[in-house]
């Protein structure tokens, strides 16, 4: 199921094909990379950063064993891979990639924290065992997206020019991911996009995420897609097959890893039926989110369930939810859970109501029914598998869908199946293997972004 869209032989132990060469020998690179010298030439005169002069990341003929993340790569110079993150979901989904790179002599990871969600991110990084060597701390209270974007691009450009990475890795669709890709492209550093190809086709929903990921899709050299559907979206946008690698979603890698640690504790207070809720989307804040808070209170009024809401740090989210939900005996409002406790809480719940993309991917792995509180989803695979339902944000629809699942055992059992359309826990191995392989081959590193 997890394979590239291209043909070729697979690495030892790997079930997916190797991407075909990007160009024929002697062909001229074009697009953004037209002015770049080939690997092995002196690049310092051509540009201030990026793959360095007289230096190969890994020796030709290096050997790899898969799916063990501790790749057996003999390197005469590690690949400087800059991982840019700034939010909890980015940390969760990039942690397996960082662990795989840390376990390999082929990589010298550089971790940059943009500070986009600093309060929520720093405890997560400690939990995941990731140390960010650079913290940009760009957030300001209630700043506009344009202000944040400008600060991030300027700050990341300076870091890239100073650290001279060979590749910049971004994840998903945050403002941090977009700015990391922009800054890298301005400095002529190739970009690897983890969780590429998700689309709703509506730039306003989710906003700004759909805009961000479409723009990153125009920049990235490597598109690591979680599903075949995501890969098809990129092909429809004329991204070459050789640049698309379907890996599965790294969030499944990390969920398996975290549950194996057995360190978390569920946050529910009672033995009532357990409803886990996460809400934060910008397009729902204000009146729409206040109406959803009313639905949650009506569910708690049933008397047979506990509603648990780990509260996002956003002041707009708190202003929308807390006034309606506070002081109800069957509603538990808490600060954002650290990842071990969130994973344990997800495993212990009976029903999930969420507008989070990551939770839509994690909950089906544990057999938890999911009601998606959004008008659109870029993750329709769970809906098609019957383990999630897209119910929107209209209060009557949300209340009716939740009530059916709580009252009808057959309805609930039909959704409570451990189906995992998003991965097999080996996505990070495929990502690092592809990067090593392509950095061994200069004609694969500098290729056009579009046919």
Give the residue numbers marked as catalytic: 173, 195, 209, 280, 282, 312
The backbone torsions φ and ψ at residue 307, rounded to the nearest 5 degrees and listed phi first, read -100, 120
Q: Residue 170 forms beta bridges with which residues?
A: 193
- Does residue 308 contact residue 412 with C-beta atoms inside 8 Å? no
- Name the 3-class secondary structure at 155: helix
DSSP H stretches of helix in 326-425: 339-348, 357-365, 380-384, 395-407, 409-415
The token pair that represents 415 in the structure block: 């959704």
Can you tell me the distance from the alpha carbon of 249 to that of 247, in angstroms, rounded to the nearest whole number?
7
The backbone torsions φ and ψ at residue 138, rounded to the nearest 5 degrees and listed phi first, read -90, -10
Can you tell me the distance from the alpha carbon of 423 to that of 386, in angstroms, rounded to the nearest whole number?
17
Closest CA to 199 of 217, 224, 187: 217
Which H or E element spans position 370?
Answer: strand 370-372
- Quote the longest CA-to-CA distance of the chain: 72
Mention every residue, 6+ apart, whose C-beta is less than 8 A from residue 68. Answer: 429
The backbone torsions φ and ψ at residue 345, rounded to the nearest 5 degrees and listed phi first, read -65, -40
- Does residue 85 contact residue 112 with C-beta atoms inside 8 Å? yes
Q: How far is CA 238 from CA 210, 231, 233, in A?
A: 18, 11, 9
- Does residue 122 contact residue 130 with C-beta atoms inside 8 Å? no
Can you tell me the distance from the alpha carbon of 378 to that of 69, in angstroms, rounded to the nearest whole number?
29
**Which stretches of 172-256 are assigned E, i.e. beta strand?**
191-194, 222-225, 244-246
Q: What is the number of residues in the chain?
A: 451
Burial class (CB in 10 A: 0-12, 13-18, 19+), 31: exposed
Q: Helices 175-186 and 145-163: crossing angle, nearest 10°?
A: 50
């Amino acid at each position: 199921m997890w394979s590239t869209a291209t043909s070729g032989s697979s690495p030892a132990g790997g079930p997916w094909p190797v991407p075909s060469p990007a160009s024929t020998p002697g062909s001229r690179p074009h697009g953004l990379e037209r002015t770049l010298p080939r690997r092995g030439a002196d690049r310092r005169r051509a540009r201030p950063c990026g793959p360095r002069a007289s230096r190969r990341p890994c020796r030709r003929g290096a050997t790899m064993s898969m799916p063990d993340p501790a790749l057996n790569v003999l390197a005469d110079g590690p690949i400087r891979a800059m991982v840019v993150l700034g939010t909890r979901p980015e940390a969760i989904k990039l942690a397996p990639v960082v662990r795989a790179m840390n376990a390999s002599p082929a990589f010298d990871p550089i971790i940059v924290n943009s500070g986009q969600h600093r309060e929520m991110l720093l405890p997560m990084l400690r939990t995941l065992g990731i140390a960010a060597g650079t913290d940009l701390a760009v957030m300001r209270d209630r700043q506009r997206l344009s202000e944040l974007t400008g600060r991030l691009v300027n700050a990341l450009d300076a870091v890239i020019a100073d650290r001279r990475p060979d590749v910049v890795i971004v994840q998903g669709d945050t403002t941090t991911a977009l700015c990391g890709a922009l800054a890298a492209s301005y400095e002529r550093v190739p970009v690897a996009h983890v969780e590429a190809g998700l689309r709703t086709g509506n730039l306003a929903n989710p906003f700004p995420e759909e805009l961000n990921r479409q723009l990153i899709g125009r920049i990235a050299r490597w598109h690591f897609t979680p599903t075949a559907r995501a890969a098809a979206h990129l092909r429809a946008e004329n991204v070459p097959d050789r640049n698309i690698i379907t890996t599965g979603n790294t969030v499944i890698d990390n969920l398996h890893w975290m549950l194996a640690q057995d360190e978390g504790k569920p946050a529910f207070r009672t033995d009532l039926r357990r409803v886990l809720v996460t809400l934060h989307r910008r397009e729902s804040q204000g009146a729409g989110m206040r109406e959803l808070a009313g639905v949650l209170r009506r569910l708690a009024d049933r008397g047979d369930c506990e509603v648990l809401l780990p509260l996002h740090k956003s002041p707009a989210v708190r202003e929308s939810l807390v006034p309606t939900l506070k002081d109800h005996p069957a509603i538990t409002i808490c600060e954002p859970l650290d990842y071990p406790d969130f994973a344990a809480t997800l495993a212990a719940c009976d029903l999930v109501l969420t507008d989070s993309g990551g939770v839509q991917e994690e909950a089906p792995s544990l057999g938890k029914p999911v009601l998606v509180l959004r008008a659109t989803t870029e993750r329709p695979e769970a809906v098609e598998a019957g383990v999630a339902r897209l119910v929107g944000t209209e209060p009557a629809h949300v209340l009716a869908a939740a009530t059916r699942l709580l009252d009808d055992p057959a309805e609930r059992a039909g959704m409570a199946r451990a189906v995992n359309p998003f991965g097999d826990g080996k996505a990070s191995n495929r990502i690092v293997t592809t990067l090593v392989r392509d950095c061994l081959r200069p004609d694969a590193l500098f290729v056009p972004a579009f046919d």
